[in-house]
Amino acid sequence: MSRFGFVLVTLLLAAPCTAQTGQPNLADYRVYTKLLQQAKEPVIIVPGIMGSRLNRVSDGEEVWPNVFGMISPFDSYLNELRLSTTTGLELPGKDMNPTSVIDREYPFGIPRVAYGNLRDLFLNNGYTTSTPNKSYFEFPYDWRLDIREEVSNFSSVVAEAFSNSPTGKINIVAHSMGGLLVKEFLRTADPSIIDKIVFVGVPHLGSPKAFNALNYGDNLGFEFGPVDILNRDRVKIITQNMPGVYELLPSKKYFEKDPYYVVDFRNNNLNSLDYSETKTFMLEKPSDARNEILIDQAQEFHDSLDGFTSTSFQMYNIVGCQNPSTIGTFVIRDDGVEPLSTNGDGTVPLMSARNPSDNSADYYVSHYETGINHAGLVRDSKVLDIIASLINGQPPTSFPTGISDSATTCDPPPAVGPETTISFATFSPVALHIYDSQGRHTGPTSAGDLELGIPGSSYQQIGEHNFAFVPAGEAYRVIVDGLAPGEFTMKVKGYNGSTLTRTAAYVAVPVQSASTLAELAFISFDGNLGLNLDENGDDVTDAIIEPEAILSGSSAGDIVPPVVSFNMPQEVIIDSPITIDFLSSDELSGMSTTTATLDGVEVQNGMIRTVATIGEHVLSVRAVDNAGNLRIADFHFDSVYQFGGFLPPLKTDGTGIYNQGRVLPVKFQLVDVAGNFISTTIATMTLTKISNGTAGTEEIPLAVGNADTGNAFRYDSTSNNYVYNLSTDAMTPGTWRLKVYLDDGKQYEVEISIKQ
């Protein structure tokens, strides 16, 4: 019997009896019955990452979110949230207490835009936070820590909710990371106490968004109203040792559904990284590496969780889709990183969000038709109505446009027709600003934050690259503001749902100085796409740059850089003429531009150049296709001296035998390709005994003479020889290997035999 039922029976037994029957008063009985009928089966709300307030234990001050810290430069206040670099645990004196679920986002004071709408959904429909008969619960938790560490605290909330249940069962609504916490709880909990669970936008198998946060900085899908005030560099720093963030990474099971989410095109390669290779990539920079211990710990967490299933209670799963701002793949190129879109809710890929178990009832929310993103899944009234129906035990039978219980809702729409989303991306050190027809702005602010003034817009920065998404059907003014001399590439992409339809790329646009501005008035791909370039910022258009091509179909999705091949020798003699010979090609979108330099000096294909210095030389080719994909390919070759061989009395075939105690002149000549003597080489020598036996067959007489010291050769301008008079006094009988090292990187050797 539930606690509420026990209390009811107790009250009935204690109620006054009528004189005639000796039974409990009927009026009181009806009151108690009404109380029972009105009692709600408790519900627990579990938020996603960053959705709980964290207060410092030592003084109770709120650290997350911090209204004043958020508006200070560089978000230095976030350092308070850093964890141990070795254990991922809290640092001494930095213990945090999760106090409440965030119901509004600071510092803007916009009410009910975090989990406030979800709270109101229940409180306005008969649920109560008051005792007795408390029916509405929230579970704030420390989202930085290992999710498993929070399960015991969650169990306490579950026990309290259970004690208030009129049915002996409870319900749970879990958003994003909160769903992973609930699943971890369920692995060892008694499932009979659960009536219904609603998972909302849960990354069951992880999300590439976490990879982005750890490697480049990201808000992890927790939005802060019209301005993204989280400094991405600071987020990257503080997340490096947060177990909770690592547990959001795509797990091994994710790779069973999608074999990769990182593609490495650097160094003229094309590598789709599997789970192990992705881990290696994350750890490859010692000065900027992720925490290997926490990567492995996160996988252990998913190993026990990803196969979760249960038939003991009703499980619902609400997933978002058709939002092209969802990152599905990271393309690593020579000039940086480009995120590519996949089908999802803007944070969690559809494939990961719809994977709780085979017995869940799924509901699909199309961003394409509703505009609802990952955060909107717990804020928008249309989804909240469905959540309410599910918790009340009345699954909906009709749905608003763009929401249904059919997976076909998330099927990609045709790659034809008008676009629903436009993305603008710039590659290089420039700032990207977008304004709509009402002057609302999406892009960086002077304070270093990101303003999201255009409704439905999003903005991502990775290194020096910028990626913005805005709704289609609006007239936009796109401003590219130069930050330093150089050049930039801009890509404009159109999406129908999450399906890429068209791409226009502006390649290698020159940036004369920090005053350079470029402006595009964009309405659609069918309009004027000329990019007006103001080279010196005087409000005068100096050039109009058209896109290389308007790509559609498979060519619009071309992510593969051009292929560059070389037909060059690996080694040439100094002062040799060499023909610049390379080939660049791109089968999908076609070639845009190809430039090349030899040792930093611009060259053209087919040119003949003289290599006048020794050592390594680099022919670097920079090729860009019509989709704006860059390939930088380097060919390394060496310029060396022409070595004329060892001169007498040395026998170059190793047959010479020399008497111990004499001086052995070691001599050779170096010339260029025309036979001119080289006199400026630095040459040194080493000796190594390789056998006590005598390999030589011919005794060569030597004079006594004066021996040289050290190991460096001298140049004799009379004979044009490099000479070293080798003393054999300390050389014991046997066979020795003599090596000569030249400053062109080459080495030459000969064997000599010594006898007494």
Tell me how crowded residue 262 is: count the other CB atoms within 10 A of its CB: 21
pLDDT single digits (tens) 3-40 = 444 434 333 333 444 444 444 444 443 444 444 446 79
Instruction: For residue 333, give Cα distances in angstroms to 215, 567, 628.
Output: 15, 23, 12
Residue 223 has pLDDT above 60, yes or no: no
Residue 711 has pLDDT above 50, yes or no: yes
Residue 229 has pLDDT above 70, yes or no: no
Which residue range(s) make up the domain with 27? 3-35
Same domain, 504 and 468: yes
Residues comprising the chain, all counted: 756
* Amino acid occupying residue 169: K
Residue 754 has pLDDT above 80, yes or no: yes
For residue 328, being part of any structural domain is answered with no
Mean pLDDT, the chain, integer: 89
Q: How confident is the model at residue 155 (pLDDT cuts 50, 70, 90)?
A: very high
Domain boundary among 623, 640, 657: 640
Distance of CA 299 to the CA centre of its chain: 18
Q: How confident is the model at residue 595 (pLDDT cuts 50, 70, 90)?
A: very high
Which residues are registered as beta bridge partners of 687? 738
Q: Given the DSSP bridges, would you call strands 43-46 and 601-603 parallel, antiparallel or unpaired?
A: unpaired
Contacts of 576 (CB under 8 A, 6+ apart): 610, 611, 639, 673
Residue 71 has pLDDT above 70, yes or no: no
Alpha carbons 225 and 108: distance in angstroms, whole number: 7
221 and 346 Cβ atoms separated by less than 8 Å: yes
Which residues are registered as beta bridge partners of 101? 52
pLDDT single digits (tens) 336-382 = 899 999 999 999 999 999 976 667 899 999 998 999 999 999 999 99
Contacts of 592 (CB under 8 A, 6+ apart): 505, 507, 508, 548, 624, 625, 626, 628
Same domain, 532 and 659: no
- At 35 the pLDDT is 44
- At 336 the pLDDT is 87
Q: How confident is the model at residue 65 (pLDDT cuts 50, 70, 90)?
A: confident
Q: How confident is the model at residue 327 (pLDDT cuts 50, 70, 90)?
A: very high
- At 74 the pLDDT is 47
349 and 328 Cβ atoms separated by less than 8 Å: yes
Q: What is the DSSP letter of 355?
A: -
Same domain, 604 and 725: no
Same domain, 690 and 605: no
Name which of 308-317, 451-460, 657-666 the model is least confident about. Answer: 308-317
- At 240 the pLDDT is 86
Tell me how crowded residue 6 is: count the other CB atoms within 10 A of its CB: 11
Q: How confident is the model at residue 104 (pLDDT cuts 50, 70, 90)?
A: confident
- At 357 the pLDDT is 63
Alpha carbons 665 and 592: distance in angstroms, whole number: 60
Alpha carbons 291 and 244: distance in angstroms, whole number: 12
Same domain, 729 and 706: yes
| Helical axes 232-239 vs 208-215, angle rounded to 10° | 100
What is the average pLDDT across 447-462? 87
What is the average pLDDT across 220-245? 70
For residue 64, being part of any structural domain is answered with no
The answer to whether the bond into 107 is cis (omega within 30° of 0) is yes
For residue 661, being part of any structural domain is answered with yes
- At 18 the pLDDT is 43
Domain boundary among 640, 664, 692: 640
Alpha carbons 552 and 594: distance in angstroms, whole number: 23
What is the average pLDDT across 486-494? 94
What is the average pLDDT across 165-193? 95
List the structure tokens of 679: 């006199």
Q: What is the DSSP letter of 354?
A: T
Q: How confident is the model at residue 219 (pLDDT cuts 50, 70, 90)?
A: low
430 and 479 Cβ atoms separated by less than 8 Å: no
- At 81 the pLDDT is 87
Q: Given the DSSP bridges, would you call strands 136-138 and 43-46 parallel, antiparallel or unpaired?
A: parallel
Name which of 172-176, 309-313, 627-631 the model is least confident about. Answer: 309-313
Same domain, 450 and 540: yes
* Amino acid occupying residue 3: R
Alpha carbons 605 and 580: distance in angstroms, whole number: 5
- At 29 the pLDDT is 39
Same domain, 518 and 440: yes
Same domain, 587 and 674: no
For residue 121, being part of any structural domain is answered with no
396 and 434 Cβ atoms separated by less than 8 Å: no
pTM of the predicted structure, to 2 decimals: 0.81
Q: How confident is the model at residue 131 (pLDDT cuts 50, 70, 90)?
A: confident
The percent of the chain in helix, strand and coil, each rounded to the nearest 5, is 20, 35, 45
pLDDT single digits (tens) 496-535 = 999 999 999 999 899 999 999 999 999 999 999 999 999 9
Alpha carbons 251 and 143: distance in angstroms, whole number: 18
Q: How confident is the model at residue 267 (pLDDT cuts 50, 70, 90)?
A: confident
- At 742 the pLDDT is 97
For residue 725, being part of any structural domain is answered with yes
498 and 512 Cβ atoms separated by less than 8 Å: no
Same domain, 569 and 551: no
Q: What strand order describes the sheet that includes 721-727?
A: 642-647, 663-671, 721-727, 714-716
- At 26 the pLDDT is 46
- At 22 the pLDDT is 45
Alpha carbons 231 and 215: distance in angstroms, whole number: 14
356 and 253 Cβ atoms separated by less than 8 Å: no
| End-to-end Cα distance, the chain | 107
For residue 215, being part of any structural domain is answered with no
Q: Which of 267, 324, 647, 307 is nearest to 499 (CA)?
A: 324
- At 76 the pLDDT is 62
Q: Is 675 helix (H, G, I), strand (E, B) or coil?
A: coil
For residue 499, being part of any structural domain is answered with yes
Alpha-helical runs (H) found in 539-613:
none
For residue 587, being part of any structural domain is answered with yes
Same domain, 654 and 693: yes
Same domain, 657 and 750: yes
* C-alpha gyration radius of the chain: 36
Give 706: exposed, middle or buried? Use CB within 10 Å, 0-12, 13-18, 19+: exposed
Of all residues in the chain, the percent with pLDDT exceeding 90 is: 75
Structural domain tally of the chain? Answer: 4
List the structure tokens of 91: 């640092």
What is the average pLDDT across 668-673? 96
Same domain, 425 and 549: yes
pLDDT single digits (tens) 276-311 = 999 999 998 766 778 999 999 999 999 999 987 777
Question: DSSP readout, 224-282?
Answer: -TTEE-S-HHHHHHHHTT-HHHHTTS--HHHHHHSS-SEEE-GGG--EE--HHHHHHHH
Residue 415 has pLDDT above 90, yes or no: no
Q: How confident is the model at residue 64 (pLDDT cuts 50, 70, 90)?
A: confident
Q: Any idea what the CATH number is for the domain that residue 713 is in? A: 2.60.40.10
Q: What is the DSSP letter of 460?
A: E
List the structure tokens of 35: 């109380």
- At 86 the pLDDT is 81
Domain boundary among 557, 576, 606: 557
303 and 326 Cβ atoms separated by less than 8 Å: no
The answer to whether the bond into 471 is cis (omega within 30° of 0) is no
Residue 743 has pLDDT above 60, yes or no: yes
Q: How confident is the model at residue 541 (pLDDT cuts 50, 70, 90)?
A: very high
